[in-house]
A and B are shown apart, each in its own frame.
Chain A
Amino acid sequence: MTATDQRSAGRSRASDAILEVDNLVTHFPIRAGFFKRTVGWVQAVNGVSLRVQPHETLGIVGESGCGKTTLGRSILRLVEPTSGDIRINGEDVMAASPSRLRELRSEMQMVFQDPYASLNPRMPIHDIVSEPLQIHGTSKSEARTRAGDYLQAVGLLPEHGNRYPHEFSGGQRQRVGIARALTLEPDLIVLDEPVSALDVSIQAQVINLLEKLQEEFDLTYLFIAHDLSVVRHISDRVAVMYLGNVVELADRDTLYESPGHPYTHALLSAVPVPDPEFERTRERIVLQGDIPSPSDPPSGCRFRTRCPIAQDICAQEPPPLQEIAPNHQVACHFTIKPGESLLSRL
């Protein structure tokens, strides 16, 4: 039996999914004044539901304020969600007691964005990587030995385990972070912008490494990023988020070739492509206005203030995320059909 099978034996599951998220809401209170009253809420995650299947990579893309980072952290309960359901391998994460939560943590891990802030500057590398094992009861010496194996798996030399983070480059530090996430042998790894802080020539190394590790260790990825090119490369399915909601969810190729949501169209249109001829001839959709603040989102459909095809109904009713084709969900009153371009509607 695989580790996953062992864990899921005896649990109730709605599907075979490794991760089930239902209506997850995470709102942060805004406090002001001497008595710290709550004067408003930052609606970071506003009712997100998704399923992540074993071995797949689900990409989550969006711009600032879309809530993707908060979503990742909420799923791991690094940030306490306000409401909603999260199940890992069928077990309820929200209802878990503190000690049960600690055990569940070995099933889902995280890789963070900033290679300079995600490693304790005062701990040597082998301690950083072996800490999760030590927390879960492994002896220090054995944990360090296993840490050495994981360092090797990510392309670093175990002999360098007694060095400190500042002696390594950004790309190498990110590898340490990845090694750390592997030690508990999780089923799911949430990767929060794992390559955004790296130089371009290093990004490809780390992306390839992540793909290799996914095969080698039988991992499932939740890949959060703002870079659409990277997400296209690594994902099987992609969810697009805007101001706390998932506005589109589809298979990778469907999303990039025939998206349904106007925001997705605009997003894809905005990404510059390293092909001068294509850039010269393409027609770009440039959205007007700024991204609204998640503490004061527009009524109805949150994208309507920048949407080139918004109508009255968009201000009144938020569109639900609906399946418009198998494996393709869009939250829009005026979904764009495959083959149609947003430009033709303007």
Chain B
Amino acid sequence: MIAPDATDRDVLLEVTDLSVGFKSRGKPLAEAVRSMSYSVRRGETLAIVGESGSGKSVGAMAMLGLLPGSAVVTGSAVFEGADLLAMPQKQLRTYRGRRIAMIFQDPMTAFHPAFTIGNQIAETMTVHGLAGKKESMSRAAELLELVGVPEPGVRVNQYPHEYSGGMRQRAMVAMAIANKPDLLIADEPTTALDVTIQAQVMEVLAEVQTEVDAALILITHDLGVVANVAERVQVMYGGRIVERGPVDKIFKQPRNPYTRGLLSSLPRVDGVRGDRLIPIGGTPPSILNMPPGCAFEPRCPHRTAICGQEPAKLESDGFDHESRCHNTYVLPAWEDINAARTTPS
């Protein structure tokens, strides 16, 4: 969904220096997210891209207070004027499911197996005092219809195990929008689904987002899904944002070596005959064993001495495209790298 010029909409969420570490006895703090700052405007779609260990999910869960007790969270996440990280649990609960809603990856475990889907959707509404019992049940059926669940009147009284994976995911979307939230956070919403079902769910998500006029933070590792849905993209690696910008620029003119590495290593369904994959060597770092300087340094083909010593700062190109790299201005041109992919060797 492409929105009109983003800059004149209000800022809905402002995250500043968010850091998340996990305590572990006898070991130093394992940093999963390191000083992440970003903002989301009303109605926009931001994709946060990363692989496992990048910290992409942890950051979002931290905002909603969904991390285990061993997590140490610092920084601020100001949502419509109030800092989510500084407020007491009781107050945070009035935001969760009402102003900010989350859609999880595994629809099977996101629903309670012993209650009907309708019951659970209705509960979201009654718990926030937005509807009475009867009204919330009928609204639940309406929501199921909105997300395309067939026979909503019947399905609303069924249990999660009676739904297929795709339907459960849609039901989760229905539950998320029940209270017309201002912000939706979807954490790998389609990773567990077949590709034709994924297409259905992404379509539904786009529809409801427009209907409710909510902002969407889409967390995923699938660059195809990002290209489909996002307006702005934020790439994460080793707990830090390494690149950020409008979706077209990120895909057509990536500035960061990691982003470039990812794009070069993707096989394409619209692939050119004989194109080669250029993988990124090595393995992603574990949060227990982060390199001292730039997290990507051990795998970066463009690394220099300083990269191993200190991490770079996130620098803008003067407009809306930022990258975190010491060597931003001495990297070869992206067109040349891309060309190497199709050059017969």
Contact = CB atoms under 8 A, between A and B. Distances in A.
A49 B120 CA distance: 47
A229 B267 contact: yes
Given A172-B283, A205-B279, A275-B227, A199 B271 contact: no
B271 A203 contact: no
A63 B283 contact: no
A204 B2 contact: no
Interface string B256-292: 0000011101111111010111111101100000000
B207 to A, nearest CB: 11
Nearest to B299: A201
Contact of A233 (B51, B277, B279): B277
Given A208-B277, A290-B164, A290-B166, A201 B195 contact: no
A199 B52 contact: yes
Interface string A181-214: 0000000000000000001111111011000000
Contact of B2 (A172, A280, A284): A280
Given A226-B194, A272-B222, A279-B228, A200 B203 contact: no
B203 A290 contact: no
Given A202-B283, A205-B279, A268 B194 contact: no
Contacts of A321: none
A194 to B, nearest CB: 13
A200 B221 contact: yes
Contact of B251 (A169, A171, A275): A275
B195 A274 contact: no
Contacts of A55: none
A274 B199 contact: no
B196 A266 contact: yes
A286 B203 contact: yes
Interface in A271-303: 271-280, 284, 286-291
Interface residues on A, range: 35 or more
Given A272-B228, A277-B248, A280-B2, A204 B199 contact: no
B265 A200 contact: yes
Contact of A201 (B194, B225, B251, B279): B279
A279 B283 contact: no
Contacts of B279: 201-205, 207-208
B327 interface: no
A143 to B, nearest CB: 28
A233 B199 contact: no
Contacts of B280: 201, 204-205
Contacts of B281: 205
A270 B262 contact: no
Given A226-B195, A267-B195, A207 B267 contact: yes
A232 interface: yes
A200 B198 CA distance: 18
Contacts of B225: 272
B130 interface: no
B196 A229 contact: no
A270 B195 contact: yes
Given A201-B51, A233-B277, A256-B269, A276 B248 contact: yes
Contacts of B230: 276
A201 B221 CA distance: 10
Contacts of B221: 199-200
Given A199-B52, A205-B279, A267-B195, A273 B268 contact: yes
A228 interface: yes
A203 B284 CA distance: 12
A200 B262 contact: yes
B223 interface: yes
Nearest to B226: A274
A64 interface: yes
B101 interface: no
A232 B224 contact: no
Contacts of A287: 196, 199-200
Given A200-B266, A201-B280, A276-B248, A271 B227 contact: no
A340 interface: no
A315 interface: no
Nearest to A233: B267
Interface string A168-180: 0101100000000
Nearest to A252: B273
Contacts of B199: 269-270, 272, 284, 286-287
B52 to A, nearest CB: 6
B58 interface: no
Contacts of A227: 267
20 contacts: A64-B194, A202-B279, A204-B280, A205-B280, A253-B273, A256-B269, A256-B270, A256-B271, A270-B195, A270-B198, A274-B251, A275-B270, A276-B228, A278-B227, A286-B200, A290-B166, A290-B167, A291-B194, A291-B197, A306-B196
Given A200-B223, A271-B269, A306-B196, 6 more contacts: A201-B262, A202-B283, A270-B199, A274-B223, A274-B263, A290-B197
